[in-house]
């Protein structure tokens, strides 16, 4: 608690999976009213939530600002049969519309106290995330050539989808690293130039996730295909998969 009390976790598919959050069971209670919310950010001191409300409903619930409210979370980590149900009392600091999002409101809540189970869940996730950040640094510029054997060890489904500008195509992954991908895409893909943004969705048995990057090299067209090299940002799913791959490989050699 002393170390990570103020550190906010932004909920994305990876965080939701690792923490075991059951999103549909996040409830905010204000007197006799109950709202289903989507957690957006979370710490050991406060929660930021998203909720669908009309303009009239938003104005109505703003009367509860600075009043005591309660928040219910349910977590069920992978491998655990029994869910963890948490009930937190707090103060509604703010509720207001999200700019550019029709009928979406942001709720900011400060806890009166943080349950020990939530301290443990958040602390475990932060430590895991920090460990993956360290591994990301150590895995820089290490690549894995995609073959039948390496795909099997990584449990890769040999399927990717790419998007450049508004064009979506299926592609083939030739090699991957935590900071670079080499792909084969259809030669008909337009606007493929160095520096262009690219989004690649990777399909593994453990995770399906999108990495964001930029094209660093465009190969000459071949037989209806061309190669692309892409620099990519930090993706915790990919670091976890590569860490598991190198571990399995070293174990196999022994």
> Model's pTM, two decimal places?
0.87
- Residue whose pair of structure tokens reads 């809540």 in the numeric block: 109
Q: How far is CA 59 from CA 29, 32, 97, 241, in A?
A: 16, 17, 10, 46
User: Using one digit for the tens of pLDDT, what is the confidence trace for 225-243?
Assistant: 999 999 999 999 999 999 9
Domains and CATH numbers, the chain: 9-137 (2.40.10.220), 142-253 (2.40.10.220)
Provide the pairing of β-strand 38-42 with 46-52. antiparallel
Q: Which two tokens stand for residue 44?
A: 């050991």
- Helix (H), strand (E) counts: the chain: 5, 15
User: Using one digit for the tens of pLDDT, what is the confidence trace for 126-137?
Assistant: 999 999 999 999
User: Using one digit for the tens of pLDDT, what is the confidence trace for 171-215?
Assistant: 999 999 999 999 999 988 877 889 999 999 999 999 999 999 999
- Residue whose pair of structure tokens reads 């593994």 in the numeric block: 204
The Cα 254–Cα 249 span in angstroms is 9
User: Using one digit for the tens of pLDDT, what is the confidence trace for 21-57?
Assistant: 998 899 999 999 999 999 999 999 999 999 999 999 9
Q: DSSP for 97-147?
A: EPTTSTTEEEEEEEES---HHHHHHHHHHHHHHHHHHHHHHHTTT--EE--
Which pLDDT band, with edges at 50, 70 and 90, does 252 fall under? Answer: low
User: Pseudo-torsion of CA 174, 177, 181, 183, nearest 10°?
Assistant: 10
């Amino acid at each position: 608690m002393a170390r990570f009390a103020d550190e906010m976790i932004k909920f994305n598919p990876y965080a939701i999976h690792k923490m075991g959050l059951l999103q549909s069971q996040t409830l905010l209670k204000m007197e006799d009213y109950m709202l289903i919310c989507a957690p957006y950010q979370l710490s050991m001191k406060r929660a930021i939530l998203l909720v669908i409300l009309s303009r009239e409903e938003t104005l109505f619930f703003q009367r509860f600002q600075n009043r005591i409210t309660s928040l219910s979370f349910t977590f069920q980590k992978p491998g655990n049969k029994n869910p963890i149900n948490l009930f937190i009392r707090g103060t509604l600091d703010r509720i207001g519309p999200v700019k550019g999002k029709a009928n979406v409101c942001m709720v900011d809540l400060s806890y009166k106290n943080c349950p020990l189970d939530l301290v443990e869940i958040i602390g475990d996730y932060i430590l895991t995330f920090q460990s993956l950040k360290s591994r990301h640094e150590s895995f820089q510029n290490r690549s894995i050539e995609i073959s039948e054997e390496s795909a099997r060890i990584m449990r890769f489904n040999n399927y990717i989808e790419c998007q450049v500008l508004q064009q979506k195509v299926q592609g083939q992954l030739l090699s991957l690293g935590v900071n670079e991908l080499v792909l084969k895409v259809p030669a008909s893909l337009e606007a493929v130039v160095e520096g262009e943004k690219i989004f690649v969705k990777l399909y593994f048995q453990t995770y399906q996730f999108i990495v964001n990057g930029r094209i660093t090299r465009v190969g000459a067209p071949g037989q209806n295909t061309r190669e692309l090299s892409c620099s990519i940002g930090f993706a915790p799913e990919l670091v976890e998969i590569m860490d598991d791959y190198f571990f399995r490989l070293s174990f196999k050699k022994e």
